Structures are given as C-alpha cells and as structure tokens.
Structure 1
C-alpha cells in the first residue's frame, strides 16, 4: 500500500511516530537543501498539520536521509530485528495482523533453526578441505566467529559492525553461500531470540523509528511500499520475490540446476517447481544469479549477454535500450521489474482485473508441491503468506500491490497454458499476455458501446459481439463507468468504498480528490425514456453522504451518471439544499473520455465534475 493511502486510513496518534521522525529529518536537512526547505515552507513547517499527499512529498524529499537514519538505527539492533524485517518486507506482508506476524516469525525461526542444525551436522561430518560447499561454509563460519571474538578480545560486547558486515557479504558472494545459510550460520554463533515478546519489542522499536504503522482498531501492522523499498536497499535486496519469480519462470531447467549447483543445493530427482521454490527462498542475490550462476562455466561473455537479451524479450520488457555490457542488461531487467507495478495496474482497469481474477478462480485447476489439488485462492494465500481468516479479493490484492501479472506468474508455465485453453484464448504468443489482453480488450469493448450499455440496449450490444445477460447490465455499466473514470486518471477509491458500504447502503463509486474531500458517484441505467427516479436516488445518496461524513470525509459533490435525465429530475437536483449534485449523461462522459484520449497532454481535473446541475460535456471536452 502506498504511503498516502496508509496515512489516510490512520488517526493522528497512529501516525505520530512517523511524523515525528520525518519532522526531525526535514528540520535537520532543510538548511542545506533548497528542495526540502521549499517542501517544508508549503506546509508552513508544521508537518503534523500537513495532508497525506504533502507528507508523502516530504518523505520523498528526504528519502536519502531517511535511509541513512534507519540504517544507523538498525545497525544497533540484534539479529531478531533483521529476521522480522525480512518477513515484513516480503510480498503480501505489507498489511498483517500482529498475531499473524508473530506466527510468521515463529515459523521463520523454526525453519532457520532447523537449517542451522543441518549446517552444524554437515560441518561436523566434513573432514576434508576440498573447497566443496561444506568446506566453504566452514570458512565463512570461522571468519564470522573472528568478527565476534575481535570485540570480546578488547573487552567489548560482541557485535558485527557495518564494515565487518560488508566484508562478510563480499566473502559470502565469492564463496557462493546463499543468504539463508549466512543467517543460519550467524544463528549458530549468536542465537536469534524467539517468542511473542521478542516480536512485540521489535515492532515497538520499528514504530518508534518511523518504519511501521500500527492500526490499533484492527491490530494490524502497516508498512508502506516506499518504506519497503528503503528497507530492501538497506538489506541489499535488489528485487522483490514476486519479480524474481518471473525470471525463474522463464529460465530453463538446466539453468535452474546451474543456480542450485553453484550453492551446493540438491538437484537430483528435484522437480522444476521445487527448484524454483528453493532458489526463491534461499535469498540468492539476483545480480549474482544473472551474471554468473545460471550459466555453464564454459559460456563466454558474448553468450551470456545474448542470453540476457533473450531474457529481456521473454519477460516482455519494453526498453528503449537494452544495454551493451552484461551489467547494463541486468540493470535494465531489475529497473523494469522494480517499476512495473504502476504500469501493470494502468494496463488493465480495476474492473478488468476483477473479471480476470474471477475467471481464474473459476477455471484454475492446479496442485500444490505434494500433488494435492489446489485452488487459486489457496495458491495466493500460501505464496503471499496471507492469513487463513483474510478474505482474498481484488481490493485486497491491490492494497498489497499485487498486480494481475503477479497473480499469473504464481502459476507454472504448464498451468497458465492450460488456463489459456480453458478460457478458449489464442494459442499463439505468450499465454500470460494473451490472458491479460483478453480482459483488457473485453472492457474496452464495453466502453466503446457505453451509451448502448447505459440504455440497456441488448440488441445493439449483441450486434457488436457483446454477449451479456440483462440482469448483469447494471453491474457492467457501473464497472465500465469506473474504468472510464480511472482512465481519466481520477482516484477511484475502492478501499474507502468498501469501508463505508453496508448490506443496505452500497455506493457505486467513490472518487478521492484530496485526503479528506471525495465525490460520490452513482451509475444509473434506464431502458426507455429519461431517468426520473429522483426521490429514491436522493434517499440513496444522502445515506452514502452521511456514512462518508461519519468517517471524517467531506463530500464535495455527488455525481449521477445516466443515459439522460427528465426535466423534473434536473430541477429537483438543482434545488436540493442538502447535497451538491452534478448530473452527467453517459454520452457526455464518453465524449469527455474520447477527448481526453485524443489529446497528447490532456488537462483534466475532478473539479470539472463539481460545477453542479446538468454538466455540459462538450464544454468540458473542449477544455481538456
């Protein structure tokens, strides 16, 4: 979840530690930095009174100082903190209940302890110095122990400094020791603490640092995407696991085996799925893997560069330049994947994502690692470590920054091909791309015929190949309306809509125009004549307004979209003194949308929808 969205869900007390941390950094850096000074001036140097978007702007301005500050504080923490941060920064854990975080920590500790005991057995049973994997582990362990005993020798508390850590990381790189083995060996030398109290202490410390937020009402830990990025940089993690999974999906079995062999991992009688899972959970550095580990030793530099060129194509990375050197091509891959989320969310609308997700849930037939049948929901829950009681839907996935692409890459290559066939999609081309485009195109077709959809004109829809049940038209019109508004780059806030809706009162659309100001949207279809049901509509929207205002939101406008409006409806809306109402015809919204898409640099604001009365779409379209 983005920082701005996290801030909008919390009260002032829950945000206080982060704001205090940000205030100190800004005050300290402002005298020597004009950008930070200007950002502070915009909020009159009172960060506590700033809006969520202003706080986000300040955070971005002091991102470097923030990273340095957090790095210094974490350097003073013990290994249990590092273990917890590794859990919190994993995909799917950006929002989690405290009790679930405690369970994840205990599970991680048990797996780490088991690996540490296995390494100890291997070290005890290995008596040769053949520079095999066990011998390399022993070298690393001995060097780690020296780092500890150096402190004790001069009567200081045993600790690994940043300088020593950088040396040990370089040593692990050259000895081809994976991150999980490094942590396990450290656990042998200095056992990591377990237990609920350890987690509680670490969470409180992270909150005091301004790293996490705690929603006291839901007992949830929230860590914004921007902070996760900072923590990954501090940990030296260049790519999120969900993006590393994409790379592993397109590697050959032989290349996966090469990676595993480089780190002394078992490859005989190991399935492709197990190979991918082992690499994914070993913490192997992606840069090492792409520059060295996946290749045969005999492969020269040119052959390696050609392989990365093909990998860029296999990952559907659209880059102006792919680079010439090996490192440049690795940079293209990492940068493209790290910045993919926004583009991928824009490529398919929220409605298209929901339709795709529903279709996948219905048609997916997979098995887990043991061969037991598995649903898509079970796969998502397992891979993203989501709690059993947590409802898995598109809104939750979007809040966790899990894109439609991420969901499809949870499926094996064979599973996604079978799914493509079940959906009766073309076999030519990339199957994941075919699935994504199918749902993006289906929504585009509804938008093209938006006016017919609004008028519930089944014959016109059928004539252009849109097969739809009459009972579903209202929902499809609502979804198409949301898509158009999203394409106009308005903030359609599904999280807020979900939070205010009840079984009785269900708003169609909520548009956030600032941290506190919103527009409530209603999408109405009408088969014959003008839309004329003002009394019923008025009761609906006033109930929504009350619920929003009870949550501290100011309803700047109510926007009603319908095929057309009766004169009585228009006059009643204009005379209503309780709420501000704007009316817009479906054809008018489509006209605005077409004008927006036609312009190279369109100029459109949600404020254009707040004029009140029947909006003149042609004038709005001309002003874009």
Structure 2
C-alpha cells in the first residue's frame, strides 16, 4: 500500500509519530538542502498540518537522510527490532493485524532458536587439523561476533554490535560464505533475541517512522516506500517474491550449481527443497545471476547469453540488454523492482478479478498456496482488493505455482494458444475485458440476448458488478488511476462506492456505474443519497472530491435537471455510449490530448465534443 493511502487510512494521532519523525529530519536537513527548505516554506513550515500529498512529497525529498537516520537508529535498537523489521518487510506482511505479526514473530523466533542449536553443535564438533570446512568457517564467524559484542564491556560500556562492526562482520560472512540463516542463528547464540515484547518493539519502530498502527483495527501498516527503504538498509537487491520468481524459472541443474557453489547438499534433494534452501541462504541476486547458476569455467559470453534467455523466460520488457555481464544483471534486477505497476496495468481491475476467480475455481488450493507463500492472515478473506493492497500482482500469483501446475491450469482453463503458459493465461483475461468493452452499451442496458449473441455468457445477477468492472477498465485505458486501495478503505458495509479515481494524492473523482434495463435511468433521490455518503467518506479520509461522475445507458430529463440543480455536490453525467466513444477517440490518436477536466464540466456531458477535443 502506498504511503499516501496509508496516511488516508489512519487518523491524525496514529500518523503523528511518523510526521514528527519526518519533521525532525526535515528541519535538520533544511539548513543545507535548499529544495527541501523551499517545500517546507510552501506549507508555512508546518509539516504537521501538511496534506497527505505534501507529506508524501517531503518523504521522497528527504529519503536519503531518512534512510541514513533509520539505519543508525535500527543499529541501536537491538536484535529484536532487526527480526521484526525482517518480518514486516517481507512480501505480504505490509498490512497485517498486530496479533498476526506476533504469531509470525513467535514462529520465526522458534525457527531461529532451533537452528542456532544445530549451528552450535557444528561449532562444538570442530574440524580436523588443516580442514577448512563449514564447522571451521562457522566457528571463526562465531568468535568474531562474540568479540564484537563483548568488547564494549572491557571499556565499561553496554555490550552491543555497532553499525561499523556489523559492516565488518558482513564482509567477513561473505568471505567465509556464511549464509543469512546461519548469521542470524550465530548472533542469537551470542546475544539472544527476546521471545516476548513484540508490542513494545512495534511501538519503538513506530517512533522512528517505520510503521503505522491503527488502534481501532489493531492493524499494522508498512507503506511500500518504507519497505523499499528497508530493503536498501538490509542490503536486499530485490523482493523475496522476485528472487523466487528467478529461481522457479531456472533449470534443476542450475539450482544444483547454486547449492554446489556454497557446499550445500544436492543429492536426493527435491526441486522445491532446492529453491527453499537457496532462498534462505540470503545470497545476493547479482551473485546468483552472474556466477552461481552457471557451471564451473563457463565463459562470460555464455553467461550473458543465458541471462538473455532468462530475460525472455521472465517476460521482462527491457529497452536494452546491456553490454557487460554486470550491466545485464543490473537491468534484470531493475526491471523486477519496477515491475509492479506494469504487471497491474496488464489487466484491468475487472480482468484481475476474473483471473483470480477462475484460478480459484480451477485450482482451489491456490488460496492456501498464497497464504503460505506470502504469510497471509488465515482469518482474513482473500480477494483481489486485499491482494492489490499487498502489492501482489497477477504474475506473482502464477509464479507461486510450479511450471507443471501452470501448464495444468492452462489446460483446465481451455486456453489452447501456444507460448509461455503464464503469459498466455494473463493475456486471455485481457482479451476477455476487451470483448466486454466492445459490447459495453449492451451491458449497460442489461441486454442478455445481445450479449449472448456475441458469445458472452453472464448471469443476470452479475451484470451490475460486471458493468462496474468494465467501466473501471475503460477509465484505466484512458490513463486514469483507478484507486482500489482507497475504495477499499472508505467503503463500509452500508456505503460502497463503485469507482474512485485518484487525480493526485489529495484529489479524487467518485464514479458510479448504473445499469438500466428499460428506458432512461431516473432514480435521482436514491443515487443522490449514495453519492453524498461517499463524498463524506472521502472527505473524512482527507480527500477532496473534485467531481462525481455518473455513467448510465441514458438519463431521464428529470434526472439531468436534478443533477444540474444540486448545490451540495458537483455532478457530471455521461451516457455509456458516450464513454465508449471517448475511449475509441482516445485509442485512435497517436498523442491524445485528454484531461480529467473534460469530465468535470457538470450536467450531461457531450461525448461528441469531448471526443473531438481528444
């Protein structure tokens, strides 16, 4: 979930810690940063009174300084804070209830404690003279960690590992080929991680601006921008889900090469176990791509060619391939790190929902697979809105399945087109949305016969929802940001807005999609009550409603007159055929000149004139 959406989700008290921390860092930095100082002057120096958009912009400007300060404070916070940060920054944990975080922490602590016992046994076994095996390497690293922790006591200071010492230990671990899993276990042996006190530690992390806690919902929010910052602090090049995506694309022999490069067992180890073991080792993605996956004495040109094939296998769209091995690795990682928006845009909101529902129907175990893969709460309903809030894309879902499972899914979906199975599955749902857009007017009129004639099978009870979803898809094709995160936040069991379009961090358009079977749409009083409730919900979340836009097949003259005379909200009306005409004009232009202002004139909009302006 984006920072701007999180700020809209929590109240003033709940976001005060973050704003206070940002205020302190910005105030200190503004003495030397002219641009930051100018931004602060624009809000009269009162960051605490800034809008969500202004706070988000200040965060971006101050990010290098914030990263440096957070890194310093985390180094002083101890092993428990480090473990919690590791949990909170993992895929799927950026929005979770406090009780769920506590359960994940307990599970992680037990795993670390058990593994530390195994590591201790290896260290105590020792090695034969002259043999530099894993026991010897772990023993050396253990001795160094112990020295780094205890040397402060010689100077009558509190025992701890400083940030500088940790940097040296990281270099040592890399040279000794000590995995991330073993590093944490050894540090737990030297400085045991507290088993309890998670709530206190969460509050400590909140003080340094790393998370928000909604008291009413007892929910922890870690914005996407902060997760990215934590990755940099942890030295992570890509998210865990993207590393797994790479590993699941590699051949069995290449997975074995990675394990062999680090003296790990490969004989009798299943493919899924290989992937799991590599993921836990904490290897850098660059090391895997440039060195480990290739066999011994493989030429650089052969490695580059293999990465070129990997780019195709991962369906990455790169402007260039890179001339050196290192550059090619960087381009792959950059493409994965910036893939979320592109992967969400491949499918409309309606297409994503249809894809998820179809996968769930063909392969019911996908829900459990996603819960396990992304550590999702077992008492929360899993739907597309929740997945989007957790930045889980359609491709992320398909990459949780093995290659064989994806092929079986393709067959079950009766998709016959050849090509990469994951790609053709996604494209099939993009095409399905296009077909509904072509028949948008019939959908608006609830004309089942016309839809059936075009081989579109929809139950009459589902037409309203489908019309809403296709309307969202049209707005997305027009370049608008259909904000499902915000819609999910403001909707209640009673008040449920159809569409929310974010024009900026603070300005929105509320959209209502209305079907009508016979005649013109005429229910103004009911519709008016609905939209005014949605406006109030948006304003309570700190958003300015620039316009309310109602889409229907046609409107009665009384409805049009009532909308024009309504003084409480600004209402624009647009007929379904008109919206489709605008989309066709937009798609026909090489450089369309289209602005949201064309939809905010009020009253019944003239689609013909708007189409000409585009």
Deviations 1:258-304 (A, max 9, x none): 22233333322221111112222332222222222222223232222
1:484 alignment partner, SS class: helix
Match of residue 115 from structure 1: 115
Shift of 1:548: 5.1
Match of residue 40 from structure 2: 40
> Kindly tell me: are residues 105 and 565 of structure 1, through their superposed partners in 2, closer, same or farther at Cα, counting changes over 3 Å?
same
The two structures have a TM-score, normalised by structure 1, of: 0.93
Instruction: Say whether residues 1:395 and 2:390 are aligned partners.
Output: no
> Kindly tell me: are residues 504 and 85 of structure 1, through their superposed partners in 2, closer, same or farther at Cα, counting changes over 3 Å?
closer
Match of residue 228 from structure 1: 227
Deviations 1:161-189 (A, max 9, x none): 33322222122222222111111111112
> Kindly tell me: are residues 179 and 32 of structure 1, through their superposed partners in 2, closer, same or farther at Cα, counting changes over 3 Å?
same
Deviations 1:63-121 (A, max 9, x none): 11111111111121211111111111000110111121111111111101111110111
Shift of 1:450: 1.6
1:32 alignment partner, SS class: coil
> Kindly tell me: are residues 546 and 147 of structure 1, through their superposed partners in 2, closer, same or farther at Cα, counting changes over 3 Å?
closer
Q: How many Å separate the matches in 2 of 1:513 and 1:306? A: 43
> Kindly tell me: are residues 502 and 234 of structure 1, through their superposed partners in 2, closer, same or farther at Cα, counting changes over 3 Å?
closer
Deviations 1:400-452 (A, max 9, x none): 11111111111111111100110011252110001110111111121122223
Instruction: Say whether residues 1:317 and 2:316 are aligned partners.
Output: yes
Match of residue 257 from structure 1: 256
Match of residue 73 from structure 1: 73
Match of residue 483 from structure 1: 473
Q: How many Å separate the matches in 1 of 2:536 and 2:460? A: 32
Deviations 1:115-162 (A, max 9, x none): 111011122224324222222222222232332344344444333233
Shift of 1:513: 4.2
Match of residue 369 from structure 1: none
Match of residue 209 from structure 2: 210
Aligned pairs for 1:224-623 (under 5 A) are: 224-364=223-363, 375-426=365-416, 428-513=418-503, 517-545=507-535, 555-623=545-613
Is residue 340–residue 391 contact of structure 2 (8 Å, CA) maintained in 1? yes
Match of residue 179 from structure 2: 178
> Kindly tell me: are residues 258 and 515 of structure 1, through their superposed partners in 2, closer, same or farther at Cα, counting changes over 3 Å?
closer
Shift of 1:362: 0.6
Please list every run of 5 or more consecutive structure 2 residues that lacks an aligned counterpart in the other structure. none
Please list every run of 5 or more consecutive structure 1 residues that lacks an aligned counterpart in the other structure. 366-374
Q: How many Å separate the matches in 2 of 1:457 and 1:623? A: 31
Q: How many Å separate the matches in 2 of 1:115 and 1:32? A: 47
Deviations 1:216-246 (A, max 9, x none): 1111111111111111101101110010111
Q: How many Å separate the matches in 1 of 2:609 and 2:30? A: 44
2:30 alignment partner, SS class: helix
Q: How many Å separate the matches in 1 of 2:290 and 2:544? A: 53
2:296 alignment partner, SS class: coil
Is residue 581–residue 607 contact of structure 2 (8 Å, CA) maintained in 1? yes
Q: How many Å separate the matches in 1 of 2:560 and 2:262? A: 72
> Kindly tell me: are residues 51 and 621 of structure 1, through their superposed partners in 2, closer, same or farther at Cα, counting changes over 3 Å?
farther
- CA RMSD across the alignment: 2.2
> Kindly tell me: are residues 568 and 149 of structure 1, through their superposed partners in 2, closer, same or farther at Cα, counting changes over 3 Å?
closer
How many residues end up aligned between the 2 structures? 613
Shift of 1:476: 1.6
Match of residue 58 from structure 2: 58
Shift of 1:337: 0.3
1:85 alignment partner, SS class: helix
Is residue 420–residue 427 contact of structure 1 (8 Å, CA) maintained in 2? no
Shift of 1:550: 6.2
The two structures have a TM-score, normalised by structure 2, of: 0.94
| More off after superposition, 79-88 vs 544-553 | 544-553
